[in-house]
């Protein structure tokens, strides 16, 4: 019986081996323009709605190319990234995959797993359509661009519940010049027994940390953290980390077990007053039928007005993809005005192109689109725009160690410095 | 008969005797050799390199051997020591908890009791739930909010007037991992009970009767007659629960998050390293885990092997 089972297994393995060769043979023969497998983690909610809208435009623009949905659900993209890592390692890449634009692509570039798309920028006329600041941030150290952004999100947004603020004698319309002014009001909320600031698991704490660094160091000082011109061990960073420590003291104690939608829910339900989250949170307010300005408010994180802390989803051209022509067709749609309008309207983000008509977009989206054009653009730390995966993992680990009480501020600072140094 | 012929006949006889079984075993031997032991060797070799980046993982940048450097760095780092401490704490609590509760249930059910089957099923059912599924529920039960914001077990404590028992569960940075052992104990005590119950039932009634006839008290009966008969079962239970505990991953991932420092264990470290393209360190953690499990399992295997022979 053992032998029979083993023989069956051997057969199965042989069959697998045979099957694995197939795509390569098929891909190299034709130009591969008949289909495109698009790998994303947009499998639910507003993200799926956005993808569906984008596919609608794609089918119009490229009716001869079949769209194959390679979306992988779960873990805010972490499941998809794990599977992608395996597929790339096994030289079985999808035709194009979703990735955060910016430094997070560096690992794929170093591993020679994606091709530059700089030529496509010229071909599709994208260089002038995107803001120059953004093109700068997308350009890798070798002068090439490796992805085409489909949408832009803003990370430095603070969301609040105006009712909770009013009930505790705080003017919901107040704007805060800096973190100190904000913390004065957080003190009042704390005294009143309300959770002043909601956060969730470690990456959302890193998200908060990045906005604090941005508020205290300014746009230039913050960007300097990533190119080495700002000293991680310096007194300015120490002061910022002290602010971070103070802010963490205002947060909910069950934070490490929560996902980001749960911390939004604390604000929506009036159990917490403020929360810092990227503007994809807009969808969780809109889904529950809430009105901006009356049921919830959104503003730049105190001290970061005039700065747009960006992150972007983008699409790539993997090396050895079976259908490169199909992938190019997809990238053309992603970069096109129609594609960006349809996708972002449904997803709740804003177009990377500056020439898209946003008149039909939601109220928050319109204001974000305006800021994106007018503000200084900096790269988000927690969302892969500023640093590669290994660095953000190390920073997240150091942050969790600090916020769980296992390290003090000095140790935290030197661990951050070591993480950023690589 | 000349010696050569006799030797050939001997070989032929040996082949005839063990050839067929060997032939039958060969496919599984090869599969196990390649996919288990071959990959263990590959993993060990990976762990002795400086393959820490995505570029090296795909061969775009060179990797060089660094010997035991990764192991020394890992074992010397405060973070990994914290993971190992967590693992020891978790294992000790998990083992002690399941053994005591499992034994107590088995002992109670061993008495002639009406509806024994129902109790047995109730105690065994939690084992049918996957760690991931029960983790989702326990994540909510073990919510660390206290007082006004409390929910889950902390709220329950308030409702029955035991406010002082409220605590932050797995969010305690030094012993939080013990809180995650609670659902693990809840799930596997029934299994240990089943093992012990089978052990109790396997003891011939004559032994008990003989002891009673000899005037042994209830305690002496257990101490000198029943416990010695149960010790092989206890050892099996220890090994089974122990090796499950050392590989703890899913329950921790579903209650806590991989990045949470307070609940890190080596298996979580391995996952985090792997996700950050640090294959050398991921492999090193894997090897360390294998060694720890081997330290527990191998003496047991040797022991049972000897018993089988005698």
Residues 103-162 of A with CB under 8 A from B: 107-108, 110-113
Q: Residue B22: inside a domain, yes or no? A: yes
Per residue in B45-82, pLDDT (tens digit) is 999 999 999 889 888 889 999 999 999 999 999 999 99
Q: Does the beta-carbon distance from A256 to B60 stay under 8 Å?
A: no
A-chain residues within 8 Å CB-CB of B272?
Answer: 393, 397
C-alpha dihedral sign at A331, A337, A338, A344: positive
Q: Per residue in B213-233, pLDDT tens?
A: 988 888 888 888 888 889 889
Cα distance from A406 to chain B (closest Cα, Å)? 6
Contact A393 B145 (CB under 8 A): no
Say yes or no: ipTM exceeds 0.90. Answer: no
Alpha-carbon distances of A415 from A393, A396, A407, A422, B220, rounded to whole Å: 12, 10, 10, 11, 59
Predicted local distance difference test score (pLDDT) of residue A3: 47
What is the nearest CA distance from B57 to chain A, expressed in angstroms?
A: 7
Number of domains forming the structure of chain B: 2
Query: In terms of residues, how long is chain A?
Result: 422
B177 and B103 within one domain? yes
Backbone region of residue A231 per phi and psi (left: phi > 0; alpha: psi in -120 to 50; beta: other values): beta
Same domain flag for B195 and B88: yes
What's the pLDDT band for A46 if we cut at 50, 70, 90?
confident
Lookup result for tokens 């790339």? A88
Residue B271 has pLDDT above 60, yes or no: yes
Give the pLDDT confidence score for residue A31 in this predicted structure.
61
Beta-bridge mates of residue A96:
A38
pTM of the predicted protein model: 0.87
Instruction: Find where tokens 């230039």 sit.
Output: A220
Nearest to A253 among B24, B139, B146 (CB): B146
Q: Sorting pLDDT into bands at 50, 70 and 90, what band is B281?
A: very high
Residues A406, B261: C-beta atoms closer than 8 Å:
yes
- Greater pLDDT, A15 or A256: A256
B52 in any annotated domain: no
Contact residues, chain B, for A113 at CB < 8 Å: 58
For range A68-78, the mean pLDDT? 83
pLDDT above 60: residue A6? no
Bridge partners (DSSP) listed for residue A37: A68
Cα nearest neighbour of B143 on chain A: A254
Q: What is the CA radius of gyration of chain A?
A: 23
pLDDT, average across residues A38-59: 92
- Mean pLDDT, chain A, rounded, equals 89
Q: Do A201 and B79 touch (CB under 8 A)?
A: no
Residue of B nearest to A109 (CA): B55
Indicate yes or no: CB of A111 within 8 angstroms of CB of B60. Answer: yes
- pLDDT (0 to 100) of residue A13: 45
Q: How far, in Å, are A1, A156, B156, B247, B289 from residue B255 at the CA level?
A: 41, 29, 19, 16, 22
Find, in chain B, the residue whose alpha carbon is nearest to that of A89: B58
pLDDT band at B208, cuts 50/70/90?
Answer: confident
3 state DSSP class of B211? helix
- Written as six digits, the tokens of B22 are 């060997």
Are A254 and B272 a contacting pair at CB < 8 A?
no
> SS3 for B300?
helix
Determine, for residues B278 and A390 on separate chains, whether the beta-carbon distance falls below 8 Å. yes
Q: Is residue B157 part of a domain?
A: no
Is B144 close to A81, i.e. CB distance below 8 A? no
B230-269 pLDDT tens trace: 988 999 899 999 989 998 899 999 999 999 999 999 999 9
Residues B27 and B85 reside in one and the same domain:
no
Q: Do A397 and B259 touch (CB under 8 A)?
A: yes
Q: Could you say which residues from 221 to 280 on chain A have a Cβ atom under 8 Å away from some Cβ of chain B?
A: 252-254, 256-257, 271
Q: What pLDDT was estimated at residue A25?
A: 36
| B32 and B176 both lie in a single domain | no
Pair A229, B288: CB distance under 8 Å: no
B116 and B250 part of one domain: yes
Domain that holds residue B122: 79-142+172-309
Q: What distance in Å separates the CA atoms of residue A182 and residue A174, rounded to the nearest whole number? A: 10
Give the nearest partner residue to B58 out of A82, A113, A201, using CB atoms: A113
Q: Residue A329 pLDDT more than 80?
A: yes
Sign of CA dihedral A389, A392, A394, A397: negative
Q: Is A272 helix (H, G, I), strand (E, B) or coil?
A: strand
- Beta strands at A96-100 and A307-315: parallel, antiparallel or unpaired: antiparallel
The distance from CA B45 to its chain's CA centroid, rounded to whole angstroms, is: 25
Residue A255 parent element (H or E): none
How far apart, in whole angstroms, are the C-alpha atoms of residue B226 and residue B207?
A: 9
- The predicted pLDDT at position B250 comes to 92
Do the chains contact at A256 and B144, CB–CB below 8 Å?
Answer: yes
Residue of A nearest to B55 (CA): A111
Q: Which of A180, A230, A249, A156 is closest to A416 using CA atoms? A: A230
Q: Is A412 on the interface with B (CB under 8 A)?
A: no
Compute how many other C-beta atoms are within 10 angstroms of the C-beta atom of residue A5: 12
Which A residues 372-401 touch B at CB under 8 Å?
389-390, 393-394, 396-397, 400-401
Are both B87 and B29 inside the same structural domain? no
User: What does the alpha-carbon distance between residue B252 and residue B66 come to, in Å, rounded to a whole number?
Assistant: 32
Residue B74 lies in a domain: no
Burial B51-77, CB ≥16 within 10 A → b, else e: bbbbbbbbeeeebeebeeebbeebeee
Least confident of A50-59, A155-164, B183-192, B212-221: B212-221
- List, in order, residues 6 or more apart from B101 with CB less than 8 Å away: B185, B189, B192, B193
Helices (H), A103-158: 106-110, 118-124, 132-138
Q: Does residue B53 sit within a domain?
A: no
Q: Which chain A residues are Cβ-neighbours of B24 within 8 angstroms?
A: 2-3
Q: Which residues of A touch B30 (CB under 8 A)?
A: 6
| CA distance, residue B282 to nearest chain A CA (Å) | 13
* Tokens at A23, concatenated: 């795509």
Residues of A in contact with B177 (CB under 8 A): none
Residue A20 has pLDDT above 70, yes or no: no
Helix (H) or strand (E) holding B164: none
- A305 interfaces chain B, CB cutoff of 8 Å: no
Q: ∠A359-A362-A364 over CA atoms, to 5°?
A: 110
Nearest chain B residue (CA) to A8: B27
Q: What is the CATH number of the domain that holds B98?
A: 1.10.3720.10
Query: How many Å apart are CA A290 and CA B61, to the nearest integer?
Result: 52
B253 domain residue, yes or no: yes
Question: Tell me, what's the pLDDT at A218?
Answer: 95
With tokens 């940048």, the residue in question is B61
Cβ atoms of B93 and B248 closer than 8 Å = no
- Cβ pairs bridging A and B (under 8 Å): 118
Tell me what the mean pLDDT of segment A316-326 comes to. Answer: 93
Kindly state whether residue B55 falls inside one of the protein's structural domains: no
**pLDDT score, position A362:** 87
Do B29 and B178 sit in the same domain of this protein?
Answer: no
Q: Kindly report the CA angle at A299 between A285 and A229, in degrees rounded to 5?
A: 125
In terms of domains, do B31 and B90 share one?
Answer: no
Q: Are residues B96 and B217 in the same domain?
A: yes
Instruction: Decide if A271 and B149 are in contact by the 8 Å CB cutoff.
Output: yes
Q: Give the span between the Cα atoms of A121 and A314, in whole angstroms.
A: 13
Instruction: Flag if B31 and A6 touch (Cβ within 8 Å).
Output: yes
| Å between B212 CA and nearest CA of chain A | 48
Which pLDDT does position B151 carry in this prediction? 87
Together in a domain, B11 and B123 = no
Q: What is the pLDDT of residues A391-421, one digit of tens each?
A: 999 999 999 999 999 999 999 999 999 999 8
Residue A139: both structure tokens together: 């350009």
Distance CA A25, CA B109 (A): 64
Chain B residues with at least one Cβ partner in A under 8 Å? 23-25, 27-28, 30-31, 52-55, 57-58, 60-61, 79, 82, 139, 142-146, 148-149, 168, 170-171, 173, 255-257, 259-262, 272, 275-278
| Res A238: pLDDT | 97
Q: Which residues on adjacent β-strands are paired with residue A154?
A: A310
CA atoms within 13 A on the CB side of A62: 22
Tell me if A110 and B82 make a contact (CB, 8 A cut-off): no
- CA-CA distance, A352 to A346, in Å (whole number)? 15
Task: Please state the three-class secondary structure of chain B as a single string.
Answer: CCHHHHHHHHHHHHHHHHHHHHHHHHHHHHHHHHHHHHHHHHHHHHHCECCCCHHHHCCCCCCCECCCHHHHHHHHCHHHHHHHHHHHHHHHHHHHHHHHHHHHHHHHHHCCCCCHHHHHHHHHHHHHCCHHHHHHHHHHHCCCCCHHHCCHHHHHHHHCCCHHHCCCHHHCCCCCHHHHHHHHHHHHHHHHHHHHHHHHHHCCHHHHHHHHHCCCCHHHHHHHHHHHHHHHHHHHHHHHHHHHHHCCCHHHHHHCCCCCHHHCCHHHHHHHHHHCCCHHHHHHHHHHHHHHHHHHHHHHHHHHHHHHHC
Nearest CA in chain A to B139: A257
Domains and CATH numbers, chain A: 35-152+312-361 (3.40.190.10), 157-309+381-421 (3.40.190.10)
Mean pLDDT to the nearest integer, B135-148:
90
- Dihedral sign for Cα atoms in the order B57, B60, B61, B63: positive
Measure the N-to-C terminal CA separation of chain B; round to a whole number of Å. Answer: 38
Residue A198, H or E segment: strand A195-198
Tell me the per-residue pLDDT of A134-187, one tens digit each, with 9 for 90 and over.
888 889 888 999 999 999 999 999 999 999 999 999 999 889 999 999 999 999
Whether B34 and B177 share a structural domain: no
B164 occurs within a structural domain: no
> How many other C-beta atoms lie within 10 A of the C-beta of residue B88?
15
Contact list in B for residue A114 (CB cut-off 8 A) is none
Contact B28 A2 (CB under 8 A): yes
| Nearest one of A197, A199, A198, A188 to A166, comparing CA atoms | A188
């Amino acid at each position: 019986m053992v032998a029979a089972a083993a023989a069956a297994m051997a057969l199965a393995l042989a069959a697998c081996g045979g099957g694995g060769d197939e795509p390569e043979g098929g891909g190299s023969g034709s130009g591969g323009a008949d289909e495109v497998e698009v790998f994303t983690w947009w499998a639910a909610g507003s993200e799926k709605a956005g993808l569906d809208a984008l596919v609608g435009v794609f089918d119009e623009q490229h009716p001869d190319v079949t769209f194959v949905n390679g979306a992988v659900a779960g873990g805010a993209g972490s499941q998809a990234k794990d599977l992608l890592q395996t597929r790339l390692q096994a030289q079985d890449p999808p035709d194009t995959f979703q990735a955060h634009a910016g430094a997070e692509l560096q690992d794929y570039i170093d591993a020679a797993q994606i091709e530059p798309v700089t030529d496509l920028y010229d071909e599709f006329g994208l260089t002038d359509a995107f803001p120059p600041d953004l093109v700068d941030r997308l350009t890798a150290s070798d002068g090439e661009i490796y992805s085409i952004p489909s949408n832009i999100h803003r990370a430095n947004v603070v969301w609040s519940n105006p009712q909770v603020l009013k009930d505790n004698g705080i003017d919901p319309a107040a704007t805060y010049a800096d973190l100190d002014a904000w913390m004065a009001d957080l003190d009042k909320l704390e005294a009143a027994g309300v959770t002043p600031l909601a956060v969730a698991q470690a990456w959302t704490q890193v998200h908060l940390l990045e906005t604090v660094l941005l508020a205290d160091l300014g746009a230039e000082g913050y960007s300097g953290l990533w190119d080495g011109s700002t000293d991680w061990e310096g007194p300015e960073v120490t002061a910022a980390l002290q602010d971070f420590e103070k802010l963490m003291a205002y947060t909910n104690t069950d934070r490490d077990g929560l996902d980001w939608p749960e911390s939004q829910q604390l604000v929506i339900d009036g159990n917490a007053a403020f929360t810092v989250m990227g503007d994809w949170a807009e969808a969780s307010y809109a889904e529950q039928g809430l009105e901006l300005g009356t049921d919830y408010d959104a503003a730049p994180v105190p001290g970061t007005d005039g700065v747009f802390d960006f992150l972007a989803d983008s699409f790539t051209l993997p090396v050895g993809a079976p259908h490169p022509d199909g992938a190019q067709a997809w990238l053309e749609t992603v970069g096109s005005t129609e594609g960006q309008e349809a996708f972002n309207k449904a997803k709740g983000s804003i177009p990377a192109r500056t020439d898209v008509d946003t008149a039909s977009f939601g109220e928050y989206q319109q204001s974000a689109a305006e800021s994106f054009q007018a503000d200084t653009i900096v790269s988000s730390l927690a969302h892969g725009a500023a640093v590669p995966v290994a660095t953000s993992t190390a920073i997240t680990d150091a942050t969790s160690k600090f916020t769980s009480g296992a390290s003090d501020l000095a140790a935290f600072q030197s661990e951050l410095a070591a993480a950023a140094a690589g | 008969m000349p010696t050569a012929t006799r030797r050939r006949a001997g070989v032929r006889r040996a082949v005839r005797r063990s050839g067929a079984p060997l032939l039958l075993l060969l496919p599984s031997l090869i599969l196990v050799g390649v996919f288990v032991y071959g990959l263990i060797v590959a993993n060990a070799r990976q762990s002795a390199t400086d393959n820490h980046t995505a570029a090296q993982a795909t061969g775009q940048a060179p990797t060089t051997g660094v010997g035991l450097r990764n192991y020394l760095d890992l074992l010397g780092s405060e973070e990994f020591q914290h993971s190992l401490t967590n693992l020891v704490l978790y294992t000790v609590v998990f083992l002690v908890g399941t053994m005591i509760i499992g034994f107590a249930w088995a002992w109670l059910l061993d008495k002639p009791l009406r509806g024994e089957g129902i109790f047995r099923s109730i105690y065994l059912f939690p084992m049918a739930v996957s760690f991931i599924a029960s983790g989702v529920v326990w994540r909510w039960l073990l919510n660390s909010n206290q007082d006004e914001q409390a929910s889950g077990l902390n709220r329950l404590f308030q409702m029955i007037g035991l406010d002082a028992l409220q605590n932050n569960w797995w969010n305690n940075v030094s012993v939080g991992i013990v809180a995650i052992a609670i659902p693990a104990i809840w799930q596997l005590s029934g299994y240990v009970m089943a093992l012990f119950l089978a052990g109790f039932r396997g003891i011939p009634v004559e032994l008990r009767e003989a002891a009673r006839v000899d005037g042994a008290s209830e305690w002496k009966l257990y101490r000198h007659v029943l416990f010695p008969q149960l010790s092989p079962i206890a050892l099996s239970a220890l090994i089974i629960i122990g090796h499950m505990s050392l590989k703890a991953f899913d329950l921790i991932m579903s209650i806590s998050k991989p990045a949470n420092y307070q609940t890190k264990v080596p298996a979580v470290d391995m996952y985090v390293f792997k996700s950050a393209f640090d294959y050398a360190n991921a492999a090193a953690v894997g090897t360390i885990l294998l060694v720890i499990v081997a330290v527990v399992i191998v003496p047991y295997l040797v022991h049972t092997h000897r018993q089988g022979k005698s």
